[in-house]
Amino acid sequence: MASTTSTTSKTYIHGEPVPTPDAHAHVTPLKTYLGIFGALMFLTVLTVLVSFMDMGPYGIYPAMMVAVVKAALVIGYFMHLKWDDRFHSFVFLGTILFVAIFFALTFADLTTRDLMQGQWANDVLQEERIRATPEMLEARERFLSGSHGETPADGAVAPQGTTAQPPATTAPATDAPVQGQ
């Protein structure tokens, strides 16, 4: 409690003393810190184990859920937000709100392109398909079917099954902005 602080300075507003929220008084017990540390370690092991269940693209859901729990533990206890001035929570949650808006608006676009039908909806994808050279499609096939995971060097040292094409014909892949017709 307040007895741990040596500063007993008072705040005055219009000459009246007002109590100040003394967030500094709180010292987290060692046990709590060690408990949080243990929980974070457990969740790390958990997220690794879950990733071996091979859930394909859906694996991101449990992974993100665990990550959010870990983040909440770090923010609440290690960063002390649980006992801190509430205004700091407001600043933090305000930031998260804007990150959410950032993601929501972007995905509102991405996920509804197919619904828009016709004209401009899938122009970007369409143009990418037009720009894809046979060499690129072949490279794609090679990459997605190959056992790239085990030996990353394979592709670099011996591009197997390539019909030696001059590298000049392959356009610089995706770095260039898509040109409209």
Site of tokens 């609440």:
76
Based on the shown chain and the rule CB under 8 A, indicate whether residue 106 belongs to the binding site for another protein: yes
Residue from the set 27, 117, 177, 180 that interacts with another protein by CB under 8 A:
27
Q: How far is the CB of 94 from another protein (least distance, A)?
A: 7
User: What is each CA distance from 99 to 60, 81, 86, 105, 171, in whole angstroms?
Assistant: 18, 19, 20, 10, 35
Residue from the set 94, 114, 116, 126 that interacts with another protein by CB under 8 A:
94
Q: Count of residues binding another protein (CB under 8 A)?
A: 84
| Contacts of another protein in 41-80 (CB under 8 A) | 41, 44, 47-48, 51, 54-57, 59-60, 63-64, 66-67, 70-71, 74-75, 77-80
**Alpha-carbon gap, residue 136 to 170, rounded angstroms:** 8
Based on the shown chain and the rule CB under 8 A, indicate whether residue 153 belongs to the binding site for another protein: yes
Residue from the set 144, 160, 177, 181 that interacts with another protein by CB under 8 A:
144
Based on the shown chain and the rule CB under 8 A, indicate whether residue 121 belongs to the binding site for another protein: no
Based on the shown chain and the rule CB under 8 A, indicate whether residue 85 belongs to the binding site for another protein: yes
Q: Which is nearer to another protein, 98 or 117 (CB)?
A: 98
